[in-house]
Amino acid sequence: MADKTSDDKPDFARGIPAGDLPEGATVEGTLGEDKVLLLRRDGQVRAIGARCTHLGAPMGKGIVAEGEIRCPWHHARFSLETGEAVGAPAFDPLPCYRAEERDGRITVTGRRETASRSVTQAPGKVVQAPGKVVIVGGGAGGHACAEWLARAGHGAAVTLVSDDPDPPYDRTFCSKQYLSGKAQRGKTLLAPESFYSGDGPRLLRDRVVSLDLGAEEVVTAGGERLPYDALVIATGAAPRRPDLPGFDRPNVHTLRSLSDADALIAAASGARRVAVVGASFIGLEVAAAMVAREKTVTVVAPDAVPLEKILGEAVGRFVQGLHEEKGVTFRLGREVTGFDGRALTLGDGSRIEADLVVLGTGVAPRTDLAEAAGLALAAKDEGGGIAVDAHLAASAPGIYAIGDVASYPDPRGGQRLRVEHWVHAQRQGQHVARALLGEAAAFTETPFFWSGHYGTSLRYVGHAGSAEDTRIEGEVGKGDFAVTYREDGRDAALATCKRDKQSLEVEAAWDREARAAG
């Protein structure tokens, strides 16, 4: 038997019987104060940190694929050999440890020094200098691109221009942990402020007013002209505000930025009744956050079922039930016609009293700079955005577009996609950074997002244009399910609840399929 620690985990300094770790297995234990995960893959024993460096998920509940271990919650990826964070949303590496198997026993003898924030260079791989890189936009993709280049030793070559007053932060906190009061403001930051100083990337808090493609310069409102060898457009999207009477009132809010969340938190402190317009993911997450702040919440939307177009009727009704159990009232199949400062008016003549209104009515890609510069845009029926190729390169040399603003060819489905997912934007930023360092591969990452509702989390991988053709496993009503969405006779997307490994395995399989197609 293995010696146990106080939390019933084996003490790896004392060791475990080798038979307790068969091929393909994982065992979590401790080494002093560290939580450590032992794995046996291809006959080799490895020891790595047992908690994801993103938000602390137990890595033992993830999977290993193509030499990487994948986090069960938010699908971050780490090199099994070095611990390096090779796929967002994690940036910090997992610690690695020395493991020995001798005389039928496995012990962990200490921490290895191989894990670092540096980009691992494969043998024989030539890394080129990226030249001067200007990134427009300090959101998910912009920061991820700058961070990867800094890891490769080229941070000083990067200028990130952001019109957000805050340094890069995790935008998902704005509608989840921070808005609900479960996380302090400082926890939202993606990196210490010192990251954008000294020899690291330069953070320029300014607004870009034009792109001078002929001179290869970015022009800012503050009068700076920034020359570039590579330009990365990561301008993201802006919330849509319906043109309705009263929607310009000060107690009508949109939520996109950290300052928007600040304003909403301040407004909620003096409000009792909150109306959310739009049963979108953001709208419903705001509803949950307002419930956590003990507000009376009503959601009004034209849809018959929340999220039905994306997740289908069964999952949409399940999510609706989660909110109704917490006291949220839904007014569905209704159009809002205006707001007088005290109540929303609906198309049927009814009214919803509200001290505070939050709009969850979607976003539009910020393409004005690209359009004015003459870059090719995707058609509106393809979702709009800046048209890029399989490498995320735009129609002018040396220019890339990533994140919410990028319309790229999907290697699995063949159509153009513009995906508004946080992790996907980060991975596109990392892909462009690798391209600037000399890698020639196409972008083949499977889209992924998660959404949380009162402790129940949904994971969604892939992309489906509708939820009309579905295959359901498990029991949706009990919150244990996997729903496959099909298009043109193929599996296009998967939504899961309490089936994290299945979500990871499908994502890994679709990644392989996309690489083969690309």
Taking only the tens of pLDDT, the chain with its 518 residues reads 344 444 689 999 999 999 999 999 999 999 999 999 999 999 999 999 999 999 999 999 999 999 999 999 999 999 999 999 999 999 999 999 999 999 999 999 999 976 555 665 555 566 688 899 999 999 999 999 999 999 999 999 999 999 999 999 999 999 999 999 999 999 999 999 889 988 889 999 999 999 999 999 999 999 999 999 999 999 999 999 999 999 999 999 999 999 999 999 999 999 999 999 999 999 999 999 999 999 999 999 999 999 999 999 999 999 999 999 999 999 999 999 999 999 999 999 999 999 999 999 999 999 999 999 999 999 988 889 999 999 999 999 999 999 999 999 999 988 999 999 999 999 999 999 999 999 989 999 999 999 999 999 999 999 999 999 999 999 999 999 999 999 988 999 999 999 999 999 999 999 999 998 86
CB 98 within 8 A of CB 47: yes
pLDDT of residue 122: 53
Greatest alpha-carbon span in the chain: 80
Residue 2: partners with Cβ closer than 8 Å, 6 or more residues away: 10, 11, 14, 15, 16, 17, 20, 29
Beta strands in 305-447 (DSSP E): 329-332, 336-339, 343-346, 351-353, 356-359, 363-365, 386-387, 399-401, 406-409, 416-417
Q: How far apart are CA 495 and CA 484, in angstroms?
A: 7
The full 3-state SS of 229-296, as one line of letters, equals CEEEECCCEEECCCCCCCCCCCCEEECCCHHHHHHHHHHHHCCCEEEEECCCHHHHHHHHHHHHCCCE
Rounded Cα gap, residues 478 and 437, in angstroms: 48
Question: What is the predicted pLDDT for the residue at 1?
Answer: 37
Distance CA 464, CA 486 (A): 7
Dist CA 270 CA 338 (whole Å): 22
H-run or E-run covering 427: helix 422-436
**From the centroid of its chain, how far is CA 11?**
35
Q: Which two tokens stand for residue 221?
A: 């409102």
pTM metric for this prediction: 0.94
Q: How many CB atoms lie within 10 A of CB 342?
A: 13
| 136 DSSP β-pair partners | 161, 233
Q: Are 348 and 342 in contact (CB under 8 A)?
A: no
Of 121, 119, 122, the C-alpha closest to 86 is 119
